[in-house]
């Protein structure tokens, strides 16, 4: 079973901060929240009052669809030429609309690089077409240089113009409709609309085209209106709504016009290309036809098929005639042989056997008639008869004539044969050359056919291009409606105030949280109990500066009650030992050791107990300074042997006779070595015989070893940590001291607690240097 004192001092880490604790943590800084809310609401009001309103203008562009599948299956080239090229990817149109070239074209054509503003006290207002004048540039010396000037003092004759540096501007008077120069640039101002007061001030700006186009492009947006449609939505965020609408309409017009111009350019290029090709094809076709004509003329070719057929027939006829001629020559030779054969002397001669010669036929007939006559006369007359002689003579004469005729016929037949043979050779040669001539002619005709086909195709394409160019003024794009407005976009009053409220809440929360994150000092008791396993003897609250006291426990107040609680807890820690020796120390200076030592001694001495308060901080004594006590003689004198009696070195505290304070005395040469003197033991033995309680005020453990030496003479150690002063990292050192048992019966005392939930008086021992933020607001803990 756990001892009662263990239960009294046991630390509990708990389950973390509750929602209520978190709320109260921030409510402690309610002034900061009020200031933050007020500042955010004020800033929001001023923003809404003087912010430049921004509007959004919108319009829609329809991208007409082409039925690419139908067009792909169509054989009507003219229809394909009329329908144009299909554009399936709408991202292309979006990029074209956002192109610099299109924006520059819009700016130049519509002079969107000229702006007019009315100058107010806090902001300038874009007037656009409502300006009472117009700026007409006549000559721009540097197209990349911004020209801006102020117009004042409107009169019927002109205006006053200021330009250049604001501190020392150039001032001159410009007449209406009269050119004037600014930095070598020449402009003209013309009146427009209603006259204005002489006190009104305006600003005229001529922007370089590239900058104006870039500014419009930055405000301009294009997106797909709906995935199910081919409609593009154009929008622009701009100060002057009419200007925004005109810009969108101008972009739509120029985009459509650009498409028409591109189509016209394509059509014109196509016509020029086709005309050039037609001229070339015409020349080539003329050359091919001339080559065919020359080849046919040079080779006597009219029609290869008919000529080859006729030549073949002529060759056959000639061959047959040659055969007949040869036969006739054979018949002639046969007849000649017949006449030359002696055995056929008195015989009849056969007919001409197909020899078509009338003379020969007549002679043979005469010859046969004479032979028949001789055959008739021979039996009737003698062999020497004159009649027979006369017949024989006639036969011989006719025979000679026949032989001579046969020779002539043979000669004629041979002449005919030679002539026929020559013709036959010509026919044969012509027929043998026909395949080559036909192949050459086929090549020429093939080239002629190809060239002629290309020529006819180009003629057809030229007609198609002509028809397409006549319809190219119809764009694939159409602006559905003129640009209109979606209304005011910024500033949105409800949103601004909502953001102000949220920011007014988040800013202080963030500041408190940031202060907590940046604060490396102890803020609450929970910071101590979460990181240390050492029992907490008590807590001492903060005492305001205007109510600070050296020993507040002498009065009836909260701090006195807290020290009495510490006294009670010490009795459990010391387990009711007699002659109790209590050592008081801390990690560093300024954490309240001297304050705690004085007040704890006073509380212990209040019931009549004898208490000795030892100022063992020999290097930097603090107790004697606080109570303005003489420190010329003290502990150091006793330890070095200069004093042998306790009564020689202590002083009784006024009003508490049982509380004896032992000053530190003069600073020795080496305090640490002095504490190892045997007189220290004698000193404590003497004190234990005389006092009920001995309180040892020691130097900080982080600087010297003195507390660890003196702990050997103590029954308990009170380790002081101070809120907003002790570093969190020092808690790890304290925990290590506790775990290694360098101090006996070690307990914690949390000093200078500043809790909003308690009312009482503490103290402020030493000043913590506040940050700039803390000085300004007084809300964040140092």
* pLDDT of amino acid 369: 77
In a domain, 270, yes or no: no
Residues 152 and 165 in one domain: yes
Helix and strand numbers (H, E) in the chain are 23, 22
| 282 belongs to a structural domain | no
pLDDT at 384 over 60: yes
Domain span at 20: 12-51+491-517
Output the pLDDT for position 438. Answer: 67
At residue 429, the pLDDT reads 65
Q: What is the mean pLDDT of residues 527-534?
A: 75
The verdict on 636 and 760 lying in the same domain is yes
Same domain as 233, residue 320 = no
Q: How confident is the model at residue 186 (pLDDT cuts 50, 70, 90)?
A: very high
Q: Return the closest-CA partner of residue 540 out of 558, 521, 520, 522.
A: 558
| Long-range Cβ pairs for the range 463-468 (8 Å, 24+) | 463/78, 464/77, 464/78, 464/81, 465/81, 465/267, 465/270, 465/271, 465/274, 466/271, 467/78, 467/81, 467/82, 468/81, 468/82, 468/84, 468/267, 468/270
Distance CA 771, CA 782 (A): 7
Residue 175: closest CA among 164, 190, 197, 195 = 190
698-745 pLDDT tens trace:
888 877 888 888 888 888 899 888 887 877 777 778 878 888 888 888
Q: pLDDT grade, residue 136 (50/70/90)?
A: very high
Strands 477-479 vs 202-206: parallel, antiparallel or unpaired: unpaired
Mark whether 73 and 22 lie in a shared domain.
no
CA–CA separation, 9 vs 5, rounded Å?
A: 6
Domain assignment of residue 275, yes or no:
no
**Which residue has better confidence, 532 or 428?**
532
pLDDT (tens digit per residue) in 19-30: 776 777 777 778
Domain C-terminal end among 436, 459, 479? 436
Residue at 681 is within a domain: yes
Number of domains in the chain: 4
Are residues 621 and 545 part of one domain? Answer: yes
Is position 639 within any domain?
yes
Q: Hey, what are 435's tokens?
A: 């395949």
Task: Pick the last residue of a domain from 264, 285, 316.
Answer: 264
Do 512 and 603 reside in the same domain of the chain?
no
- Give the model's pLDDT for residue 354: 62
Q: Are residues 45 and 74 in the same domain?
A: no
Asked whether 674 and 618 are in contact (CB, 8 A), the reply is yes
Give the residue, 433 or 199, on which the prediction is more confident. 199
Q: What digits encode the pLDDT tens for the residues 71-129?
A: 444 444 444 444 444 445 788 888 888 888 888 999 988 988 899 888 887 788 888 88
One domain, residues 536 and 585: yes
Note the residue count of the chain: 782
Per residue in 623-646, pLDDT (tens digit) is: 888 888 888 888 888 888 888 888
Whether residues 36 and 163 share a domain: the answer is: no
The CATH number for 625's domain is 3.40.50.300
Averaging pLDDT over each range in 292-301, 526-535, 573-582, 662-671, which range is the top one? 662-671
Within 10 angstroms of residue 663's Cβ, the number of other Cβ atoms is 24
Residue 630 in any domain: the answer is yes
Say if residue 543 is exposed, middle or buried (CB neighbours under 10 Å; 0-12, 13-18, 19+): buried
Q: How confident is the model over 509-527, as a mean pLDDT?
A: 74
Q: Is residue 659 part of a domain?
A: yes
454: helix, strand or coil: helix
Average pLDDT over residues 260-280: 78
Q: How confident is the model at residue 768 (pLDDT cuts 50, 70, 90)?
A: very low
Question: What number of other Cβ atoms are within 10 A of residue 617's Cβ?
Answer: 24
For residue 774, what pLDDT band results from cuts at 50, 70 and 90?
Answer: very low
Residue 434: predicted pLDDT: 63
CA dihedral 355, 356, 360, 361 (to 10 degrees): 90
Residue with tokens 């756990």: 2
Judge whether 257 lies within some domain: yes
Contacts of 210 (CB under 8 A, 6+ apart): 100, 104, 144
C-alpha pair distances (Å), 546 with each of 41, 542, 763: 36, 12, 9
Q: How far is residue 392's CA from residue 61's CA, in Å, rounded to a whole number?
A: 130
Per-residue DSSP letters for 327-345? HHHHHHHHHHHHHH-GGGT
Same domain (yes/no): 430, 314: yes
320 and 193 belong to one structural domain: no
Instruction: Choose one of 264, 290, 319: the last residue of a domain.
Output: 264
Looking at the fold, whether 242 and 333 belong to one and the same domain comes out as no
> Which pair of structure tokens corresponds to residue 285?
């076709």
Nearest Cα to Cα of residue 234 among 469, 401, 481? 481
pLDDT at 660 over 80: yes
């Amino acid at each position: 079973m756990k001892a009662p004192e263990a239960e009294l001092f046991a630390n509990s880490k708990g389950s973390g901060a509750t929602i209520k604790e978190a709320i109260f943590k921030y409510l402690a800084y309610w002034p900061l929240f009020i200031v933050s809310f007020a500042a955010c609401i004020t800033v929001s009001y001023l923003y809404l009052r003087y912010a430049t309103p921004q509007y959004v203008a919108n319009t829609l562009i329809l991208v007409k669809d082409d039925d690419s599948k139908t067009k792909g299956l169509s054989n009507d080239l003219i229809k394909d030429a009329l329908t144009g090229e299909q554009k399936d990817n709408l991202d292309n149109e979006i990029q074209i609309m956002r192109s610099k070239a299109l924006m520059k074209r819009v700016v130049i054509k519509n002079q969107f690089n000229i702006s007019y503003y009315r100058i107010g006290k806090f902001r300038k207002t874009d007037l656009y077409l409502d300006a009472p004048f117009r700026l007409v540039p006549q000559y721009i010396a540097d197209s990349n240089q911004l020209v801006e000037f102020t117009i004042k003092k409107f009169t019927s004759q002109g205006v006053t113009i200021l330009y250049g540096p604001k501190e020392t501007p150039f001032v001159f008077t410009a007449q209406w409709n009269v050119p004037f120069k600014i930095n070598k640039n020449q402009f003209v101002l013309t009146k427009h609309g209603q006259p204005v007061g002489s006190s009104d001030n305006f600003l005229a700006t001529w922007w370089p085209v590239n900058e104006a186009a870039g500014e419009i492009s930055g405000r301009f947006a294009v997106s797909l209106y709906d995935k199910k449609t081919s409609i593009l939505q154009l929008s622009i965020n701009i100060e002057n709504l009419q200007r925004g609408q005109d810009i969108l309409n101008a972009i739509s017009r120029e985009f459509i016009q650009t498409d028409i111009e591109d189509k016209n350019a394509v059509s014109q290029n196509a016509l020029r290309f086709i005309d050039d090709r037609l001229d070339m094809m015409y020349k080539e076709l003329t050359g091919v036809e001339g080559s065919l004509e020359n080849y046919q003329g040079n080779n006597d070719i009219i029609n290869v098929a008919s000529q080859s057929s006729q030549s073949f027939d002529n060759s056959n006829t000639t061959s047959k005639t040659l055969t007949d001629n040869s036969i006739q020559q054979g018949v002639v030779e046969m007849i000649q042989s017949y006449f030359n054969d002696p055995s056929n002397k008195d015989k009849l001669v056969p007919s001409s056997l197909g020899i078509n010669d009338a003379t020969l036929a007549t002679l043979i007939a005469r010859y046969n008639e004479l032979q028949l006559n001789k055959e008739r006369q021979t039996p009737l007359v003698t062999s020497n008869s004159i009649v027979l002689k006369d017949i024989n003579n006639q036969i011989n004469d006719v025979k000679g004539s026949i032989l001579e005729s046969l020779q002539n016929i043979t000669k004629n037949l041979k002449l005919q044969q030679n002539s026929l043979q020559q013709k036959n050779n010509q026919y044969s040669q012509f027929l043998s050359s026909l395949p080559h001539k036909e192949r050459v002619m086929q090549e020429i005709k093939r080239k002629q056919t190809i060239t002629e086909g290309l020529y006819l195709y180009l003629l057809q394409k030229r007609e198609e291009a002509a028809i397409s160019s006549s319809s190219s003024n119809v764009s694939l794009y159409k602006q559905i409606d003129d640009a209109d407005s979606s209304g005011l976009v910024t500033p949105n009053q409800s949103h601004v105030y909502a953001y102000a409220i949220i920011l007014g809440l988040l800013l202080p929360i963030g500041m408190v949280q940031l202060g907590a994150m940046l604060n490396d000092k102890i803020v609450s008791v929970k910071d101590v109990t979460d990181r240390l396993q050492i029992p907490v003897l008590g807590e001492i609250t903060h005492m305001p500066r205007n109510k600070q006291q050296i020993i507040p426990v002498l009065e009836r107040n909260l701090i006195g009650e807290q020290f009495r609680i510490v006294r009670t807890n010490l009795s459990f820690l010391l387990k009711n030992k007699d002659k109790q020796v209590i050592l008081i120390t801390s990690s560093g200076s300024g954490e309240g050791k001297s304050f705690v030592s004085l007040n704890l001694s006073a509380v212990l001495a209040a019931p009549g107990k004898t208490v000795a308060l030892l100022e063992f901080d020999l290097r930097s004594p603090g107790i004697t300074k606080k109570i303005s006590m003489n420190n010329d003689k003290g502990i150091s004198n006793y330890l070095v042997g200069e004093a042998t009696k306790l009564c020689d070195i202590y002083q009784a505290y006024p009003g508490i006779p049982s509380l004896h304070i032992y000053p530190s005395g003069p600073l020795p040469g080496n305090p640490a070595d002095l504490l190892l003197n045997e007189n220290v033991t004698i000193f404590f033995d003497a004190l234990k015989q005389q006092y009920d309680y001995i309180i040892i005020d020691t130097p900080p453990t982080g600087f010297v070893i003195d507390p660890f030496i003196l702990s050997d003479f103590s029954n308990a150690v009170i380790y002081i940590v101070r809120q907003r002063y002790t570093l969190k990292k020092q808690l790890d050192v304290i925990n290590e001291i506790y775990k290694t048992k360098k101090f006996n019966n070690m307990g914690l005392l949390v000093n200078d607690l500043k809790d909003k939930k308690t009312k009482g008086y503490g103290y402020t021992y030493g000043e913590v240097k506040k940050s700039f933020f803390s000085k300004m607001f007084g809300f964040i803990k140092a």
